[in-house]
Amino acid sequence: MNAYDSKRMVDVLAPLGYCQSEQLENADLVILNTCHIREKAAEKIYSELGRLRAIKNERLESGSPMMIGVAGCVAQAEGAEMLRRAPFVDLVFGPQTYHRLPEMVARAQRDMGAREFSGRGIIDTQFPIEPKFDSLPPATSPGPSAFLTVQEGCDRFCTFCVVPYTRGAEFSRSVADVIAEAVALVDSGARELILLGQNVNAYHGVSPAGGEWRLAELIRELAEIPNLERLRYTTSHPRDMTSDLIRAHGEIEILMPYLHLPVQSGSDRVLSAMNRQHTSENYLDIIEAVRAARPNIALSSDFIVGHPGETEEDFEDTLTLVERVGFAQAYSFKYSPRPGTPASAMEDIVTEDEKSSRLARLQEVLNKQQSQFNEEFVGVVLPVLIDRKGRDENQLAGRSPWMQAVHVDFDRPESAQLAYGKTIDVRIMTARPNSLAALPLNKLGSAG
Ligand code: SAH
Ligand code: SF4
């Protein structure tokens, strides 16, 4: 979602004459868009800001000042503290106020010089009453695959999670708003849309008839957009996997056969301490229903090891769940206490060594599952949406329907150029733990 937000900041600043720069040293405005979900996020930002301060000093001496903004959830959480610790920062704003960037930048520019390095930068971290989406300019796609935020914030309050405090209360954009943005993205080159939300399947936006649509209904409508070839959504909560959404996986062809459904733990005791509001059995039932609807679906998840109170037995329950499901891919993390969350006040802390050892054991199983999943594709022909450059001009990369990264080697740079932005059939030649290597089908002499 930060990638989506950063792109929208670029869109909102364009009318002021700003464009994205590849070179930090020459930038007139530097924005750090930050994440607060895990680890020592704030410390990392302060150390990065230290580096920026040196550049800002040099720029000031050369007579071309540079403005520094800090955006995102660390800015939201730190607020005024950020200006105290880094008085050379000009703007501090949260994830819900970046539509006001033009105004903030104009104000900061006006008193630049008088205010610079004074710790009197502009702070805008209130949660506004009007959603930012109403004030953003039309979106353009950054490439063949585009993110589209449909839902933001969260009301679930898992005990370990900072999202409800930094992104704020759950909010769904209206169906009309989402469709308008989807059409604009497709018109400007997107062939795949990835619908985003902290809890995307909690989506409940106002429908065209004035009622309310859930995510499944929204997906059915989006699937009708001409030239849209692929739809995905992330991240979901097991409690919000409605039967209609599960059915949609079997019925909507362009909804890709991939589901990221975080479970966090396989122990009911830990799930309860996390306030996840589901058991491991509930999760397995959902997986069974999803697989019945779309038998070839690839499953992905998030795991936290070492949540306060997690015993060896609890952890083994997580390993058992992983064995029972069989994931195509997964993200796993050591629990990291987040300031202000209920879990951060819980006792019975798991030692850092224990967390590391559990994470290594879990990742060993998950990596094995991912490798096995990938190896089954060797020799198979599958469609890849080419959306990225590769290692050299003969190579491009994209995603399989199952979200695997696929590197495709062409015989000439011209053939590669022609394939960019298209979905092409490729034959998988090699499987690696995190990606697949392929050749375009026509190079092998088959039709393509
Ligand atoms: N809405 C999603 C999660 C969004 S946060 C859900 O309900 O699952 C993305 C992932 O970061 C989470 O799934 C979790 O695995 C991880 N995470 C969140 N808070 C964390 C913390 N305090 N410590 C370690 N990992 C955390
Ligand atoms: Fe955080 Fe997800 Fe739980 Fe919401 S549902 S509190 S975003 S982990």
| Model pLDDT for residues 220-245, shown as the tens digit of each residue | 999 999 999 999 999 999 999 999 99
Q: Return the number of other C-beta atoms located less than 10 Å from residue 180's C-beta.
A: 14
For residue range 170-225, list pLDDT tens digits in order. 999 999 999 999 999 999 999 999 999 999 999 999 999 999 999 999 999 999 99
Q: Is the pLDDT of residue 310 over 90?
A: yes
262 Cα to the center of ligand 2, angstroms: 10
103 Cα to the center of ligand 1, angstroms: 33
198 Cα to the center of ligand 2, angstroms: 7
For residue range 259-281, list pLDDT tens digits in order. 999 999 999 999 999 999 999 99
The pLDDT confidence band at residue 39, using thresholds 50, 70 and 90, is: confident
Q: Is the CB of 163 under 6 A from ligand 2?
A: yes
Element spanning 440, H or E: strand 435-440
**Any idea what DSSP says for residue 255?**
B
Residues contacting 1, CB < 8 A, separation 6+: 95, 147, 149, 152, 196, 197, 198
Q: Is the CB of 161 under 6 A from ligand 2?
A: yes
1 Cα to the center of ligand 2, angstroms: 14
Q: Exposure of 34 by Cβ count < 10 A (0-12 exposed, 13-18 middle, 19+ buried)?
A: buried
Going by C-alpha positions, the residue among 81, 79, 75, 84 that lies closest to residue 36 is 75
What pLDDT shows up at residue 124?
93
The pLDDT confidence band at residue 446, using thresholds 50, 70 and 90, is: very low
Which whole number is the average pLDDT over 297-311? 98
302 Cα to the center of ligand 2, angstroms: 11
Q: Is the CB of 157 under 6 A from ligand 2?
A: yes
Q: Is the CB of 199 under 6 A from ligand 2?
A: yes
Q: Could you identify the residue written with the tokens 């994830």?
A: 95
- Ligand having the closest approach to the CA of 305: 1
In the chain, the percentage of residues whose pLDDT exceeds 90 is 90
Q: Is the CB of 341 under 6 A from ligand 2?
A: no
Closest residue by CA, ligand 1 atom 8 = 262
Best mutation site among 170, 199, 263 for ligand 2, i.e. most ligand atoms within 8 A of its Cβ? Answer: 199
Q: Could you identify the residue written with the tokens 């058991």?
A: 279
SS3 of 333, please? strand
**Interior/surface letters 361-395, b for 16+ CB within 10 angstroms, e for the rest:** ebbebbeebbeebbeebeeeebbbbbbbebeeeeb
What pLDDT shows up at residue 445?
40
Q: Is the pLDDT of residue 448 over 60?
A: no
283 Cα to the center of ligand 2, angstroms: 16
Q: Return the number of other C-beta atoms located less than 10 Å from residue 339's C-beta.
A: 11
264 Cα to the center of ligand 1, angstroms: 8
For residue range 68-114, list pLDDT tens digits in order. 999 999 999 999 999 999 999 999 999 999 999 999 999 998 877 77
The Cα–Cα gap between 251 and 254 comes to 9
Q: What's the pTM?
A: 0.94
Asked if 77 and 166 touch (Cβ cutoff 8 Å), the reply is yes
What pLDDT shows up at residue 112?
77
Closest-lying ligand 1 atom to the alpha carbon of residue 160:
22
In the chain, the percentage of residues whose pLDDT exceeds 70 is 98
What pLDDT shows up at residue 198?
96
The Cα–Cα gap between 152 and 170 comes to 6
- Ligand having the closest approach to the CA of 310: 1
Q: Is the pLDDT of residue 373 over 80?
A: yes
Structure tokens at 388: 């990225």
Going by C-alpha positions, the residue among 109, 87, 83 that lies closest to residue 13 is 109
Residues with CB under 6 A from ligand 1: 37-38, 160-161, 198-199, 235, 237, 262, 264, 302, 304, 333, 335-336, 338
Asked if 101 and 64 touch (Cβ cutoff 8 Å), the reply is no
What pLDDT shows up at residue 60?
87
Across the chain, what does the average pLDDT equal? 94
What pLDDT shows up at residue 331?
97
**Interior/surface letters 275-307, b for 16+ CB within 10 angstroms, e for the rest:** ebebebebbeebbeebbebbeebbbbbebbbbb
Going by C-alpha positions, the residue among 362, 361, 250, 235 that lies closest to residue 300 is 235
The 8 Å CB, 24+ separation contacts for 441-448 are: 441/381, 443/410, 443/411, 443/415, 448/424
The Cα–Cα gap between 161 and 152 comes to 15
What pLDDT shows up at residue 105?
95
The Cα–Cα gap between 190 and 216 comes to 21
Closest residue by CA, ligand 1 atom 11 = 37
Asked if 200 and 234 touch (Cβ cutoff 8 Å), the reply is yes
Residues contacting 97, CB < 8 A, separation 6+: 124, 125, 126, 128, 132
What pLDDT shows up at residue 443?
52
Closest residue by CA, ligand 2 atom 5 = 156
Best mutation site among 36, 37, 165, 198 for ligand 2, i.e. most ligand atoms within 8 A of its Cβ? Answer: 198
SS3 of 304, please? strand
Query: What does the DSSP assignment read for 258-272?
Result: EEE---B-S-HHHHH
97 Cα to the center of ligand 2, angstroms: 21
Q: Is the CB of 198 under 6 A from ligand 2?
A: yes
What pLDDT shows up at residue 384?
98
Closest-lying ligand 2 atom to the alpha carbon of residue 276:
3
What pLDDT shows up at residue 447?
41
Going by C-alpha positions, the residue among 342, 309, 196 that lies closest to residue 260 is 196
333 Cα to the center of ligand 2, angstroms: 15
155 Cα to the center of ligand 2, angstroms: 8
The pLDDT confidence band at residue 246, using thresholds 50, 70 and 90, is: very high
207 Cα to the center of ligand 2, angstroms: 25
Q: Is the CB of 164 under 6 A from ligand 2?
A: yes
The Cα–Cα gap between 255 and 215 comes to 12
SS3 of 384, please? strand
Q: Is the pLDDT of residue 442 over 80?
A: no
The pLDDT confidence band at residue 353, using thresholds 50, 70 and 90, is: very high
